[in-house]
Amino acid sequence: MSVLYRVLTGDDSSAFCHKVSAALAQGWELHGSPSYAYDGTNGVMRCAQAVTKRVEAEYDPEMKLGAQ
């Protein structure tokens, strides 16, 4: 058994919320609080949310985490 870890990022928009919602629907769990930062180069707020998931497979650095 392994615990996988991902950080989802994106502009502060509904698209980011959908990305996090899709991960939750696939069995990922929120890990900690979301983070926000202003991207001055592009003039937008950026978001980040860590998620984790327990899987039966042994961890392999070649895993495609989004496919788990």
pLDDT in tens, 11-59: 999 999 999 999 999 999 999 999 999 999 999 999 999 999 999 988 8
Measured between alpha carbons, how far is residue 15 from residues 1, 9, 47, 54 in Å? Answer: 31, 10, 11, 25
By residue range, what is the domain housing residue 18?
A: 2-58
CA distance 50 to 16: 13
Regarding beta strands 2-11 and 44-55, do their DSSP bridges make them parallel or antiparallel, or are they unpaired?
Answer: antiparallel
> What's the whole-model pTM score?
0.86
The domain total for the chain is 1
Does some domain include residue 8?
yes
Does some domain include residue 68?
no
Does some domain include residue 63?
no
Classify the phi-psi angles of 43: left when phi > 0, otherwise alpha if psi is within -120 to 50, otherwise beta: left
Q: What CATH number is attached to the domain comprising 30?
A: 3.30.70
66 DSSP assignment: G
Does some domain include residue 25?
yes
Does some domain include residue 66?
no
